[in-house]
Structure 1
Amino acid sequence: MRTSGVLMHISSLPSPYGIGTFGRSAYEFIDFLFDAGQSFWQILPLGQTSYGDSPYQSFSTYAGNPYFVDLDTLAWQGLLFPEDFRDAEWGTDPEEVDYEKMYRMRYPVLRLAARRFLDRGPAEFSEFCAAESRWLEDYALFMALKDQRGGAAWQEWEEPLRRRESAALEHARCELADDIRFWKVVQFWFFTQWREVKRYANDKGIRIIGDLPIYVAADSADVWADPAQFQLDEDLRPVNVAGCPPDGFSRLGQLWGNPLFRWDNMREDGYGWWFGRIAQASELFDVIRIDHFRGFDSYYSIPRDLPDARVGRWEQGPGIEFFHRMREALGEKDIIAEDLGFLTDSVLQMVQDSGYPGMKVLQFAFDAREESDYLPYHYGPHCVVYTGTHDNDTVLGWMEHAPAEDVEFAKRYLRLTEEEGFHWGMMRGALESVGDTAILTMQDILGLDGRARMNTPSTLGCNWKWRMKAGAVTKELTARLREYTQTYGRLRE
């Protein structure tokens, strides 16, 4: 069945409180997808962002982003009053997230609501804490300790806490009991509100595609609580870190800095750490996009403390055995393999053997210097076609900044015209392709230039900020997207 959807992260939804949330705008966006005949809403990782604001570097692979908890919903529940939050300064630009303001202002409001919430002691909260205790206890303690130490990374904590000595942990649990409860309450709100959003989408026939980063942050509850799963030295610091080697897009490569996995240890315990992640993701999402899928075949290992990714080597990952054992443990899951980047024959074979659809990105197709595998006539149906991803420029930004000969090639190949709109022509190219699923970015649907780009890899300080203006989705825009979707046989049934 031919389907299509839209890539739009939660943070980019319009909201009067500085960042998109699980509130009214999320439901209105689902209504837009429904009216436009779409089948999917794709989002980025939902984890709690840390330094750099990237959803791919989170304090926990399990915990949700507190910024997405909707304040109006808490007010409706009697936990906040209008004067608690509605007149606050959440940022001056409605098209950009001010993360510094989020960090300074959101948590005092959430703490106020949490005190009122705990006074009620609802049974549902206790049930949630018991059901999620496997990760929630370590996460809440981790965040409480981090707050007490001014945000310092756990690698800088006192030795007994770094090494999780029982007496030190028990003392911290008693000393920080109120703070620990706060972090648990926020997670209760996050999961409760998200499940309502997902239920609303599913009831309208919209399925959620969620993003699962392959790596976790070094400064995370995951590494602190289970260091044996990672390549750490005796001082609990990464021996080697993750990234990508230099290529046509980055002469220095990409230095992500995440600790690498001890795949030997993971294999010995039946990959339980990984399968726990995937099991939770399959509850939160209908389809899971596994980021950097090629890392299961082989991964790029960079010695710690190097300034860039030019020096490194490829190491062997678990390969297809991982996915065979995952199916045995968890059953069949709907997964998209992010198979972009440097692909060897063994990587391509693993993707094929997995049975999961890979990704095709139209912006990668039009290199006038050489034949590209991303040209649509190379596609088979078993793939997901994108105009671009969160790491790409918008279509109009690409056309402005790409080499002129590449842009001319795209115009010829896709029959792009100013009358149609170059962005609509590129989206048409994705929709008319033979790929089973086409995903369009919301920035391209709105016809925005490169200022709306979500992320530029290997840069800091200017990413993950774009927000959609309130009122940007019109009846005319919705009708046009529906017409294109129907013309190319992708209308939701």
Structure 2
Amino acid sequence: SNAYLFVDWLAGAGQTYWQVLPLGEIGPGNSPYMSSSAFAGNVLIIDLFDLAHQGWLSQEDLIPLPEFRHDRVDYGLQKQFRVERLHRAAKQFFAGGNEAMHSAYSEFCMAQHEWLRDYALFKTISEQQEGRNWNQWPTALANREVEALRRLEVEYVEQINFWKFCQWCFARQWEQLKQYANERGVQLIGDVPIFVAYQSADVWAHPELFELDQSGYPIAVAGVPPDYFSATGQLWGNPLYRWDVHEQTSYAWWVQRLRHALRSFDRVRIDHFRGFAAYWAVPANENTAVNGRWLPGPGAKLFDAFKKAFVDLPIIAEDLGVITPDVAELRDNFELPGMRILQFAFAEDNSNHFLPHNYIANTIAYTGTHDNDTMLGWWNTASEKEKSFVRQYFGREVIDVPWDMMGALSGSVANTVIFPMQDVLCLSGEDRMNLPGSSDGNWEWRFTWDQVQPWQTVKLSKMTSMNARS
């Protein structure tokens, strides 16, 4: 599959990390940061050909494939095609007699019981309720009354088992991919969103952990104040945590969540790390994030719980945005690497901590993230002041902007540098992954193999070895 080919390409180019977006199911606007579960994988990326190899799909199920776009993801068409095939595969699996596979499936369900049952119930009820918010379901289901759930598990056993089967397939395939990557010297970096979606199995199953009113609606929601990306801030809309209740449980839900992520990845980036020091709370009836206020997060207490549960903390702190001393102190006290984004470096002067000469070793440096423009797109829209600063900083005219910028990062003291694939391919702003504050056309970009030229692979490999990063 393409994922295995990409691992081969990374290894061939001397790369040691592959960082991905959150792997959960997509939410409104196709965002991977608004998933219906903090634990479930995105069933749309299950390899259907692997299911055919197992005998659960036929050749006729997959050939001919619909004419999917290769450079963009059409989520509607993909979902329609893939979910229907997954139903066929599940039906064949449960009707079949492969004892080893059935045993593996049962073991998975037992091992993941803390979240899997709730997730499968949530997905099943959501379909029956035609997508209504969980607090608008019949009271017995919204309140998770034992007898109501028991009746549901009998009446809809096939659909509930379908969702469990999909998660088993996802976990099985991802485990195989991770093993393949690790054997070739490539480690996987995952992304853990700090917040979860309101319409999620997590909030439905554990409403006591979230700031909700008596009717189950959020009292306040997550966001960030006005910043580089938006003059009105970003109103994410996620429910906020009741950190006092989490503390009473020794942060059990968060420990479970991180443990689950570290089974899938070698390292994880925790999105919006600053929210653990203090978070921006916006009244739920606001239309923008302007009228929010800062409230204290769990701080060191949460990370003490992590240290107690894990031997080490392979965590990357996404410390972007409004970073106050308490955020830096929390990051540094637990020796977590922070992030530096080169696109933010050229708007001020040489004291800007995003400039490579100001990095410290315990840093993960990026030309840009999924929220940034591509490096070429940024250059094409940069002010003349910024471009002049770039020329002065490099001491010359910048000819090949993406590669010059990647070279600057590669030669820095940052112990890890990550390049978006768009920058390796020298793509323009039309190929950015996400535009914060917008709702259309995001999260759809994908590269095609005909864009990957041999010279790019060779150049990336040489840059890596020249800077002793291989």
Q: What TM-score results when the alignment is normalised by the length of structure 2? A: 0.96
Distance change >3 Å, CA 471–CA 251, structure 1 → 2? same
Match of 1:201 among 167, 181, 201: 181
State the Cα distance separating 1:79 from its structure 2 match.
1.4
Between the aligned partners of 2:398 and 2:311, the Cα distance in structure 1 is: 48
Number of aligned residue pairs: give it.
Answer: 466
Between the aligned partners of 1:388 and 1:199, the Cα distance in structure 2 is: 28
Between the aligned partners of 1:417 and 1:58, the Cα distance in structure 2 is: 44
Query: Which string of whole-angstrom CA distances, capped at 9 and with x for unpartnered residues, describes residues 342-392 of structure 1?
Result: 011111111111210000000000104785221112111110110000110
Between the aligned partners of 2:213 and 2:352, the Cα distance in structure 1 is: 42
CA contact (8 A) 1:84 1:109 kept: yes
1:439 matched to 2:405? The reply is no
Question: Could you say what secondary structure the match of 1:186 adopts?
Answer: helix
1:43 matched to 2:20? The reply is yes
The answer for the alignment partner of 1:19 in structure 2 is: none
Between the aligned partners of 1:90 and 1:55, the Cα distance in structure 2 is: 24
Between the aligned partners of 1:90 and 1:266, the Cα distance in structure 2 is: 47
The answer for the alignment partner of 2:79 in structure 1 is: 103
1:28 matched to 2:8? The reply is no
Between the aligned partners of 1:71 and 1:36, the Cα distance in structure 2 is: 28
1:388 matched to 2:388? The reply is no
Match of 1:116 among 92, 111, 116: 92
The answer for unaligned runs of 5 or more in structure 1 is 1-23
State the Cα distance separating 1:104 from its structure 2 match.
2.1
CA contact (8 A) 2:19 2:188 kept: yes
Structure 1 runs (4+) greater than 6 angstroms displaced: none
1:355 matched to 2:335? The reply is yes
The answer for the alignment partner of 2:158 in structure 1 is: 178
For residues 158-169 of structure 1, the aligned pairs below 5 Å read 158-169=138-149
State the Cα distance separating 1:88 from its structure 2 match.
3.6
State the Cα distance separating 1:321 from its structure 2 match.
2.2
Question: Could you say what secondary structure the match of 1:238 adopts?
Answer: coil
State the Cα distance separating 1:476 from its structure 2 match.
2.3
Match of 1:428 among 395, 400, 407: 407
Between the aligned partners of 1:388 and 1:248, the Cα distance in structure 2 is: 13
Moved more, 190-199 or 121-130: 121-130
State the Cα distance separating 1:399 from its structure 2 match.
0.6
1:476 matched to 2:460? The reply is no
CA contact (8 A) 1:59 1:220 kept: yes
Question: Could you say what secondary structure the match of 2:433 adopts?
Answer: coil
Between the aligned partners of 2:132 and 2:161, the Cα distance in structure 1 is: 20
Moved more, 220-229 or 96-105: 96-105
State the Cα distance separating 1:153 from its structure 2 match.
2.4
1:83 matched to 2:77? The reply is no
The answer for the alignment partner of 1:20 in structure 2 is: none
Distance change >3 Å, CA 458–CA 146, structure 1 → 2? same
For residues 6-17 of structure 1, the aligned pairs below 5 Å read none
Question: Could you say what secondary structure the match of 1:118 adopts?
Answer: helix
Between the aligned partners of 2:261 and 2:103, the Cα distance in structure 1 is: 25
Query: Which string of whole-angstrom CA distances, capped at 9 and with x for unpartnered residues, describes residues 114-158 of structure 1?
Result: 101111252111111111111000000110111112222212211
For residues 272-283 of structure 1, the aligned pairs below 5 Å read 272-283=252-263
Between the aligned partners of 2:388 and 2:283, the Cα distance in structure 1 is: 41
Identity of aligned residues (%): 43
The answer for the alignment partner of 2:431 in structure 1 is: 452
RMSD: 1.4
Moved more, 245-254 or 135-144: 245-254
Distance change >3 Å, CA 127–CA 435, structure 1 → 2? same
Moved more, 243-252 or 199-208: 243-252
Question: Could you say what secondary structure the match of 2:10 adopts?
Answer: helix
CA contact (8 A) 1:90 1:98 kept: no
The answer for the alignment partner of 2:466 in structure 1 is: 487
Between the aligned partners of 2:193 and 2:406, the Cα distance in structure 1 is: 26
Distance change >3 Å, CA 123–CA 398, structure 1 → 2? same
For residues 78-477 of structure 1, the aligned pairs below 5 Å read 78-91=55-68, 93-120=69-96, 122-368=102-348, 371-415=351-395, 417=397, 419=399, 421-477=400-456
Query: Which string of whole-angstrom CA distances, capped at 9 and with x for unpartnered residues, describes residues 168-212 of structure 1?
Result: 111211111100010011001000000000000001111111111
CA contact (8 A) 2:255 2:305 kept: no
Q: Aligned letter for 1:89?
A: P
The answer for the alignment partner of 2:42 in structure 1 is: 65
Question: Could you say what secondary structure the match of 1:113 adopts?
Answer: helix
Moved more, 133-142 or 405-414: 405-414
Question: Could you say what secondary structure the match of 1:471 adopts?
Answer: helix
Question: Could you say what secondary structure the match of 1:294 adopts?
Answer: helix
Between the aligned partners of 2:147 and 2:434, the Cα distance in structure 1 is: 43
CA contact (8 A) 1:416 1:422 kept: no
Q: Aligned letter for 1:425?
A: D
Question: Could you say what secondary structure the match of 1:341 adopts?
Answer: coil
State the Cα distance separating 1:247 from its structure 2 match.
2.0
Moved more, 97-106 or 440-449: 97-106
CA contact (8 A) 1:282 1:333 kept: no
